[in-house]
Structure 1
């Protein structure tokens, strides 16, 4: 049996037929119904070798399971963000480990389900695993990059799961500021206006307890001014050049990489399954909403190229998703 796969060839996407692999161990063989394109996809594409199948976020139907699988069975609807060391989701059939796979919410479309995993895992691990926040946490969280995919999910998670946490969110204009306030942010600041630190301290005079940083370049002095002593920052990018400015206040820096668990096969890999299951429940209970900027159909090389161009432009508010296959 073969299936359609979209890989990189001479820096462009090319469709080809490949052999469909068999599910072994903890693997699920998933028929992919929808995928989303993230900034990570665009970054990885630039250095991908010929034949590489990219793609992380996906939603689809389990068609076969390996002998060690206990969490799913054929016919189940699932969603996942995959791994960086295995072929990606830009193909009709994909193998994915059950322990990093969650049930797809029953109340949303395939496209909406595919918009959830990578951002949900990143937001959840940042808040819970790194910052240690829960329903009892009290304090102020600064979200830098609140209008990105992770930010949209993070604001909703804090609103529903951490009700005593006050959120200060960055936004570049009033339209985006209104949107993030609708998602739960109590205050907004404009990162394009001068002296961001003064804006933050105006709404949080004593400083903030925690920071989620999606855009860290040039932010060292700002964080040193606005974060309380012994505060915590979790970063998802490698932009911060000067960590020394944080030392005098004992500020801790955490790195979030949602691929750390699957890449290193950590003993707690199954935590990603559990958190995705929790996310699915929140969606089904109308407490968390996927945010889609644009949906393209079908999944093919042409639309994948368009999706990468949209994401590369950096102006889309929400996820860019591809769904369906040409028969």
Structure 2
């Protein structure tokens, strides 16, 4: 099969940062599906994994964790899917990714493609939908049915993850959603996704919240870097509130800032359940099935905002550069190599 790989951590300005190559077709065994990829989407995790490469690899690593495609074959333990089914999934961080013609994926973390979406539109859904769902309902423990009109602050609302988090919170809770964005187009996008208010994260968050009659907020979902907002979050979080973080932080942070308020701090990594094969791993397939139904009913919107051509080393390189610039609204996609 054809694939796009990376051998070392080179800047995207270097044409050698990604390579086109070929390798034998994988074989589906056990709970695995063999999927022919029809569409993928780009995520920050893609370039972060590239940046973590030390030295030069002996063989190219295949990155990419958001795909939609057709099931070509199934392992002998598969029960939910069959050849010909169209599926969507994020995949597993410790297995080859979706920058390829074919990919193996465990059926427990797979969902059906929403019928009303194209493969590229569907490829925008899995990673951000799963991360947003787990952050809101498993980490922050927002009650999807009976939650009162409490304030939820989403820092960095215009990206792919923020877009899904805003929609889930609006459709499945009674929270008052306050998103942050700094540009007019990103503010407009957050409002389109369902935010009740949008404030500017390049300005004083405390002052803007006070202007909305919130001295503090009980719930914070920080989808941006932790360091710039660490002290601010300690100031604006309510006593006994909860914070969910998604960004890796190498620096040492002062947790004592939150001790006086007894704040609950959570991390969300969408790959945890598959990485450790936890007993909640099949829940990701369940979530994707529910999200597919919500999309087909018109309750949830896809977040695709631009296409970047077919999967190739040149286009993946452009995609990484686009994501690394940090100005994405929604998500960028590529179509399959031979679809």
* Residue 82 (structure 2) pairs with residue 82 (structure 1): no
CA-CA distance at 1:62 after TM superposition: 0.5
CA-CA distance at 1:313 after TM superposition: 1.1
Matches within 5 A, 1:241-256: 241-256=253-268
Q: What residue in structure 2 maps to residue 181 of structure 1? A: 191
DSSP 3-state at the match of 2:23: strand
Q: TM-score, normalised by structure 2?
A: 0.92
CA-CA distance at 1:51 after TM superposition: 1.2
CA-CA distance at 1:326 after TM superposition: 4.7
How far apart, CA to CA, are the structure 1 residues paired with 2:110 and 2:338? 26
Q: What residue in structure 2 maps to residue 9 of structure 1? A: 7
Q: What residue in structure 1 maps to residue 307 of structure 2? A: 295
How far apart, CA to CA, are the structure 1 residues paired with 2:298 and 2:169? 15
Q: Deviations over 1:255-281 (max 9, x none)?
A: 000000000000121000000111111
* Residue 317 (structure 2) pairs with residue 312 (structure 1): no
* Residue 273 (structure 2) pairs with residue 273 (structure 1): no
* Residue 46 (structure 2) pairs with residue 41 (structure 1): yes
* Greater shift in the superposed pair: 177-186 or 123-132: 177-186
Q: What residue in structure 2 maps to residue 172 of structure 1? A: 182
DSSP 3-state at the match of 1:151: helix
How far apart, CA to CA, are the structure 1 residues paired with 2:269 and 2:246? 7
Matches within 5 A, 1:196-211: 196-211=205-220
- Compute the RMSD of aligned alpha carbons: 1.4
How far apart, CA to CA, are the structure 2 residues paired with 1:213 and 1:108? 29
Q: What residue in structure 2 maps to residue 98 of structure 1? A: 107
DSSP 3-state at the match of 2:165: helix
Q: What residue in structure 2 maps to residue 113 of structure 1? A: 122
How far apart, CA to CA, are the structure 1 residues paired with 2:123 and 2:338? 18
Matches within 5 A, 1:145-164: 145-162=156-173, 164=174
Q: What residue in structure 2 maps to residue 144 of structure 1? A: 155
Q: Deviations over 1:121-172 (max 9, x none)?
A: 110000111111112112110000111110001111111111x110111010
How far apart, CA to CA, are the structure 1 residues paired with 2:214 and 2:165? 23
- Name stretches of at least 5 consecutive residues in structure 1 with no aligned partner: none
- Name stretches of at least 5 consecutive residues in structure 2 with no aligned partner: 11-16
* Residue 83 (structure 2) pairs with residue 71 (structure 1): no
How far apart, CA to CA, are the structure 1 residues paired with 2:232 and 2:210? 10
Q: Deviations over 1:270-304 (max 9, x none)?
A: 00000011111111011111122321222111111
Which consecutive aligned stretches of 4+ in structure 1 deviate over 6 angstroms post-superposition? none
DSSP 3-state at the match of 1:143: strand
* Greater shift in the superposed pair: 76-85 or 179-188: 179-188
How far apart, CA to CA, are the structure 2 residues paired with 1:226 and 1:158? 20
DSSP 3-state at the match of 2:310: coil
CA-CA distance at 1:8 after TM superposition: 1.1
* Residue 222 (structure 2) pairs with residue 217 (structure 1): no
**Residues matched between the structures, number:** 323
DSSP 3-state at the match of 1:325: coil
CA-CA distance at 1:226 after TM superposition: 1.4
